[in-house]
């Protein structure tokens, strides 16, 4: 088993490498504007969960998810020279819904603020 520092270091390496691979080597024009927001690696370094956001609506998110599902073997092969672990981890892609949640909270706070202003008048 790897220690916590090594797991974090491997996760950071994977994040940088996958970001570059998606931006420069993944040639699908329908992938959208993707940002890798985080990577979590299992303690045995065998599975990497990659969290991303994409600019656009739900249709664009679905297209990007399909593209990643079909390209994960390509991305994994491109990842080989970038990391120094014995095994190249299995890649799993997840849409990071943190921004959607933050936007929803922001919308609710604005609505509360507007309601309180209208009640004061």
| pLDDT tens sequence across 33-81 | 999 999 999 999 999 999 999 998 899 999 999 999 999 999 999 999 9
Residue with tokens 């933050």: 102
Q: Which helix (H) or strand (E) covers residue 20, if one does?
A: helix 4-20
Give, to the nearest 10 degrees, the angle between helix 58-79 and helix 4-20.
110
For domain 4-120, which architecture applies? 2-Layer Sandwich (3.30)
Q: Which residues contact 27 (CB under 8 A, 6 or more apart)?
A: none
pLDDT value for 111? 86
pLDDT score recorded for residue 14: 97
- Domain boundaries along the sequence of the chain: 4-120
pTM (predicted TM-score): 0.82
Average pLDDT of the chain?
A: 91
């Amino acid at each position: 088993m790897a220690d916590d520092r090594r797991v974090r270091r491997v996760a950071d390496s994977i994040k940088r490498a996958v970001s570059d691979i998606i931006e420069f080597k993944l040639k699908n024009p329908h992938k959208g504007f993707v940002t890798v927001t985080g990577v979590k690696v299992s303690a045995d370094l065998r599975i990497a969960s990659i969290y991303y956001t994409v600019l656009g609506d739900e249709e664009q998110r679905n297209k990007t998810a399909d593209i990643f599902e079909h390209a994960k073997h390509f991305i994994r092969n491109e990842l080989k020279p970038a990391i120094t672990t014995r095994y190249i981890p299995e890649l799993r892609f997840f849409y990071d819904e943190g921004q959607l949640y933050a936007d929803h909270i922001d919308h609710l706070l604005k609505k509360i603020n507007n309601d309180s202003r209208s009640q004061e008048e």
